Amino acid sequence: MSFVQKTPSDRSAQKAIWVWGYVVALAAMWTLAVGGVLTGEILHLEDDVRNSAKSLGRRAVERDVALRRWASLHGGVYVPLVPGNSPDPYLADHPRRDLVTKAEEKLTLVCPSAVNRQFQDLLTDPHFPRSRATSLAPIRAEDAPDPWERQALESLAAGHEEVASVEAFEGRETLRLMRPLWMEESCRGCHVNRAYQTGELRGGISVAVPLDRFREEARAEALLRAEHYGLLWLVGLVGIVLGGRRLQQQARRRLGVEQELREARDLLEQRVAERTADLEQTNERLRDQIAERQRAEEEARSAQQRLLEHQQRQKELAEAELAKLQDQLVRQTQLATIGRVSASIAHELRNPLGAVRNAAYLLKRKLPRDQTRLQEYLRMIEEETSRADLIITELMAMTRGKAPDRQATELGKIVAAARQRCAAPAQFQWSSTYDPDPLLVNVDAVQLEQVFRNLFTNAIHASGASGWVGVEAKRRDSDDEILVTDSGPGIASNLRRQVFEPLYTTKSKGTGMGLAICRQIIERHGGSIEVIDGPRGAAFRIRLLHDAKQAEDPS
């Protein structure tokens, strides 16, 4: 495929063709714009003809209504009885139709309609609008409506305020307009014996406005505007042509500048190509050096990242171990304090409690059985002294906890024994699943039974007589997980750590030692116990390690 390089003269010719094509298109657009505006103006003049004729017709109606109202307000007009002014036969019932002055001059009454007819007869200008009153039920036969007036009267009767249209009337193009004529109170003087009501539509005033003069004025205005717009179009066209010539000159100068720029560009490209070849060799050496440095930096960042991660893990392990040791120290301090207090309480209170219990027992035997109120008081004394003694016993058991005596035992048997020793209502429901079944655990069965007994007792108290408790156990890789759930209200998330603290309880008659003893026993086995979110109520998760040596020395 071969390419022919265009010379500057060829490009100049193409540029000239493009410029004059643009000029022709702009001239055509300018012609269309001016023609469109002129056409709109002429159409607007047509609307002005109709609006001007309609405005003149409305003024004629207002003139006739004003003339009629003036005549009716004065009770009509009296004129001399001369030839051409004979008495109106339609006013024959009027009591004062004919009068005689003191000078013996005879006068006759002319009604407002007759006054208006005589006024219209005096108009001689053929271009002036002519009007008359008409009705669907005219009094005079001469006032009967023509077909257009009849349609207009029917439209007025239907509620229209005005009817107007351009019609051929008396051989001329005419705007015909009709507006309603209402019965007024002053009109009753000439309509004595007619059953007209004030405000009733009496008929209409019809006006005929010839459009000849308006058409001539519109044609003259259209011709004047055409001359103005023609001059504007010619000025714009001359401007477009002159602008096209200037644009062509600028295009030729631009082509010369472009040719010089192309020559300079070719020279510059040659020099750039030579310089680029030198830079490519330099860049290749720099890229090798940069790649080597990036590899070294990447290895340094990786080593630094591994060191930071190792330090972070060591820090987290140290913080976790420190938190665990702090927690153990706090619990040991609490247990030591509770041990000293419980030993003092056991020594100081158990003997008085025994004496109170014995005295209540003797009083209960001596009292007659009909002393039910006193019998109830003594029963309450016995219950509360027994509860106080239970608290002292649990405190002593917690501070004197012994190491677990581990033996392989079925978890199901431990759970069943704990369930039997709990006083649950008859309708209370139990469920348990083990994976595998039987599930052997290496624990102190007596201590673990106490854990389940404390958990079951709390669950029965929280769930009520119709509640349920579920036990689900499964073996995992390094430990056994036991989940104890109930149908009670559950434990709030902000209380889940506090419930394992000694002497903390939410029950009115609780000792606050049950869950603390559970945690102490589980931790002696090297396991853990915690409160988690359950399906409905409270859920306790217990984890026991498989290896007894690992449980005794978790480190």
What DSSP character marks residue 5?
P
Structure tokens at 107: 């006068």
C-alpha angle 75/78/83, rounded to 5°? 145
Closest of 500, 488, 493, 484 to residue 540, by C-alpha: 484
CA 205 to chain CA mean position, Å: 60
Residues 6+ apart with CB under 8 A from 375: 364, 367, 369
Residue 331 and residue 346: Cα distance in Å, rounded?
21
pLDDT of amino acid 132: 80
Prior bond of 80 cis (ω within 30°): no
Q: State the Cα–Cα distance between residues 333 and 319, nearest whole angstrom.
A: 21
**When comparing pLDDT for 106 and 331, which is higher?**
106
**d(C-alpha 393, C-alpha 399), whole Å:** 10
Query: CB neighbours of 455 closer than 8 A, spacing ≥ 6?
Result: 484, 518, 540
Which of 195-209, 335-349, 501-515 holds the top average pLDDT? Answer: 195-209
Nearest-angstrom CA–CA distance, 184 and 181: 9
Of the two residues 324 and 406, the one the predictor is more confident about is: 406
Phi-psi sector, 133: left (phi>0), alpha (psi -120 to 50), beta: beta
DSSP codes, 498-537:
GGGSTT--SSTT--S-HHHHHHHHHHHTT-EEEEEE-SSS
Half-sphere exposure of residue 266: CA atoms within 13 angstroms, side-chain side:
5
Position with higher pLDDT, 524 vs 121: 524
Most confidently predicted of 45-49, 53-57, 432-436: 432-436
User: What is the location of CATH 3.30.450 in the chain?
Assistant: 9-76+111-210
Residue in 73, 171, 161, 61 with CA at minimum distance from that of residue 120: 61
d(CA 540, CA 521): 15
The tens digit of pLDDT for each residue in 320-329 reads 777 766 766 6
Correct CATH for 403-552 of 3.30.565.10, 3.30.499.10, 3.40.366.10, 3.40.50.10540: 3.30.565.10
Least Cα distance to 127 among 170, 164, 178 occurs for 170
User: Is pLDDT at 195 greater than 60 in this prediction?
Assistant: no
Tell me the pLDDT band of 411, cut-offs 50, 70 and 90.
very high
Task: Choose between 483 and 346: higher pLDDT.
Answer: 483
Kind of pairing, strands 98-100 and 106-110? Answer: antiparallel
| Secondary structure percentages of the chain, helix, strand, coil, to 5 | 60, 15, 25
Where do the CATH 3.30.565.10 domains begin and end in the chain? 403-552
Model pLDDT, residue 78? 74
Identify the helix (H) or strand (E) that includes residue 264.
Answer: helix 212-366
Q: Would you say how long the chain is, in residues?
A: 555
Q: Which two tokens stand for residue 301?
A: 């960042």
For residue 2, the model assigns a pLDDT of 44
What is the pLDDT, as a whole number, of residue 349?
Answer: 65
The arithmetic mean of pLDDT across residues 404-413, rounded, is 91
pLDDT at residue 332, rounded to an integer: 61
Residue whose C-alpha is closest to residue 163's, from 141, 145, 139: 145
9-76+111-210: which CATH architecture? 2-Layer Sandwich (3.30)
- On the CB side of 543, CA atoms within 13 Å amount to 10
Per DSSP, 88 falls in state P
CA-to-CA separations, 454 to 335, 467, 470, 490, in angstroms, rounded = 19, 17, 14, 16
Alpha carbon distance 416, 428 (integer Å): 15
pLDDT at 469 over 80: yes
pLDDT digits over 151-183, tens only?
Answer: 888 888 888 888 888 888 888 888 888 888 887
Q: What does the pLDDT average to over 264-293? A: 87
C-alpha–C-alpha distance, residues 500 and 495, integer Å? 9
Q: Is the pLDDT of residue 335 over 70?
A: no
pLDDT at 474: 94
Q: Is 236 left (phi over 0), alpha (psi -120 to 50) or beta?
A: alpha
Cα 418 to chain centroid, rounded: 60
Q: Which residue has the tokens 């007036």?
A: 149
pLDDT at 554: 44
Burial 360-382 (b: 16+ CB within 10 A, else e): beeebeeeeeeeeeeeeebeebe
Give 186's contacts (C-beta < 8 A, 6+ positions apart).
Answer: 69, 72, 73
**Could you tell me the two tokens for 191?**
């309509």
Q: What is the DSSP string of 201-255?
A: EEEEEEEEEE-HHHHHHHHHHHHHHHHHHHHHHHHHHHHHHHHHHHHHHHHHHHH
